[in-house]
Amino acid sequence: MTGMSVSIFIVAFVMSVGSYLLVSGWLDRRGRAAVLSRFSGKELAVGAERRSAHPALMQITDAVRGRFATRFLERLRLKQSAEAWLETAALKWGAAGLMHRSVAAFLVAFALVTVGTRNHMPVAAMAAGGLAALLPLLYVKRKANQRVRQFEEQFPDCLEFISRSMRAGHAFSVSLEMVYREYSEPLASEFRRTFEEQNLGQPLDIVLKKLTRRIPSMDVHFFVSAVLLQKRTGGNLAELLDKLAHIIRERFKLRARIRAISAQGLMSGRILVLIPLGVAALMFGVNPEYATFFVVDPVGHQLVALAVGLIIVGYLIIKKIVTIEV
């Protein structure tokens, strides 16, 4: 690829991405205005569109943004899974926004590798683009797991708070309101949404089942099952919540002990992943002519791809072995 070809490629790439972003943003604004005018009148649509934040139960969904991406994900049956992860992570991207970020990361990585290697390694450019496309997905998953862990850490104290509140004579719905006023994120926002949904007239069982979908935790499932069972059969819910809080704390202790025991195996897996990288760096430093084979020759590219794939598979197997769910 000559210098002129590289310049043409960069200009075409920038113009394509810019055109897509402009058209997508225009359709987004148009769809938002249409939905807001439908529900609140055209006079209020402009003012509502300029607000930086919406109420917790009044969010613009993917129905009016990224329609092409949304339909594409629906055909692949990935839209609901993406929305579930985003909701757990408390990210307002939407399924279409997540797809846009993945596509953008793929294009940027592909362009950088293509220009950097002067189009001599198209397979490496595709591989780099594929790995970059996974970065938004990994970020969402990590954010969701982190938020669930924070919720679980606050949850035992929350259960005891609800128990004490009910013993003091407050109703269960009032206890939910007190929880989101007293606690910090992420527990506060989740119980606030639960309280607001119930306050607007939704049945308690539906509201609590939505909570289990937003926070996919075994502890939350136990809590919801206990509340719904008490609602149907009766009993002392306050005492039941105290016992559940004690069980959750004991699970935390057991989980910490297992994590300490399995830490050596996980560290061994990480070291085994880093050893080939260190050997490759040593080869390039000691004998560059010998190591250049893996960069220039097509057979070397295949060997590198095979080695990277085997390293990833081995690390995943080790992680699966040392990860014990409690």
Q: Which CATH number covers residue 236?
A: 1.20.81
Cα 222 to Cα 212: distance, rounded to the nearest angstrom: 10
pLDDT digits (tens, 9 = 90+) for 127-157: 888 889 999 999 999 999 999 999 999 999 9
pLDDT at residue number 246? 93
Q: Which long-range contacts link 33-39 to residues 24+ away (Cβ below 8 Å)?
A: 34/64, 35/60, 35/63, 35/64
Kindly report which listed range (43-52, 149-158, 203-212, 249-258) carries the lowest average pLDDT score. Answer: 43-52
Question: Does residue 241 share a domain with residue 263?
Answer: no
Q: What is the pTM of this model?
A: 0.72
pLDDT at residue number 268? 87
In a domain, 236, yes or no: yes
Amino acid occupying residue 52: S
80 or 73: whose pLDDT is higher?
80
Kindly report which listed range (1-15, 70-84, 223-237, 293-307) carries the lowest average pLDDT score. Answer: 1-15
Q: Which residues span the domain enclosing 12? A: 1-52
pLDDT at residue number 294? 81
Question: Does residue 244 share a domain with residue 152?
Answer: yes
User: Looking up tokens 């607001």, which residue turns up?
Assistant: 196
pLDDT at residue number 220? 93
Last residue of a domain, one of 228, 252, 276: 252
Cβ contacts of residue 235 below 8 Å, gap of 6+? 229
In a domain, 110, yes or no: no
DSSP string, 8-28: HHHHHHHHHHHHHHHHHHHHH
In a domain, 5, yes or no: yes
pLDDT reading at 162 higher than 70: yes
pLDDT digits (tens, 9 = 90+) for 26-58: 666 665 566 556 555 544 444 444 444 444 444
User: Looking up tokens 């119930």, which residue turns up?
Assistant: 198
pLDDT digits (tens, 9 = 90+) for 74-83: 777 778 888 8
In a domain, 128, yes or no: no
pLDDT at residue number 46? 44
pLDDT reading at 63 higher than 70: no
pLDDT reading at 171 higher than 80: yes
Question: Does residue 244 share a domain with residue 162?
Answer: yes
pLDDT at residue number 8? 63
Question: Does residue 238 share a domain with residue 153?
Answer: yes
pLDDT band at residue 223, thresholds of 50, 70 and 90? very high
Cβ contacts of residue 109 below 8 Å, gap of 6+? 125, 128, 129, 131, 132, 133
Query: What is the total count of domains within the chain?
Result: 3
Last residue of a domain, one of 252, 270, 285: 252
Closest residue by Cα to residue 13 from 119, 123, 95: 119
Cβ contacts of residue 305 below 8 Å, gap of 6+? 123, 127
pLDDT at residue number 56? 47
In a domain, 84, yes or no: no
Sign of the CA dihedral with 54 first, then 59, 62, and 64 last: negative
pLDDT at residue number 88? 92
Question: Does residue 279 share a domain with residue 246?
Answer: no
Amino acid occupying residue 227: V
Last residue of a domain, one of 222, 252, 282: 252
- Mean of the per-residue pLDDT values for the chain? 81
Could you say which DSSP state residue 64 is in?
G
